[in-house]
Structure 1
């Protein structure tokens, strides 16, 4: 279970990041459910990308055998930023397609 904790943190923070981005950019918001779903996807992707770059995430935790504050913050940051960015991109695409 411990190896899944960073991924769970990334997914939850991605959903939060997606909803936060949706509330800040109402023009591109997909609604609460849409923001959450896209945020979860973006959170997983963002966390994995940061992990591959060695800046936190699941790979860093797997290499260090235990979760410390740095790896938790890396997972939260990667998930939250990834969720917000992907939600903004999908919102912009949806907005452009509806015109």
Structure 2
């Protein structure tokens, strides 16, 4: 598999923005540059596995990918919080 330099930059940008958004929503602060990128990319992975099975489709484009990734990252952070015993509803 080959990914171009531009494609890598897009992945990193989407991960950064999605991780930062998820951090703001769940925690009230980001996780730093590397942490935001990692959380955003993991959120994109979760969203790409979960949302099609649920029939969720928001559209195409960069904004759509950021929203998908941010929602996946929020799910990831909530699950981590529940497993660590911090999250209570």
> Of the two structures, which has the highest relative contact order with CA contacts closer than 8 Å and spacing of 6 or more?
1
Which consecutive residues of structure 1, in runs of 5 or more, have no partner in the other structure?
24-30, 57-69
Question: Hey, which of these two has a bigger chunk of helix by percent?
Answer: 1
Structure 1 segment 1-99 matched on structure 2, within 5 A: 1-12=5-16, 13-23=18-28, 32-33=30-31, 37=35, 40-48=37-45, 50=47, 70-95=60-85
**How high is the TM-score relative to the length of structure 1?**
0.52
**How high is the TM-score relative to the length of structure 2?**
0.56
Radius of gyration: which is bigger? 1
Runs of 4+ residues over 6 Å off in structure 1: none
Which consecutive residues of structure 2, in runs of 5 or more, have no partner in the other structure?
none
Coordinate RMSD, CA, aligned:
3.1
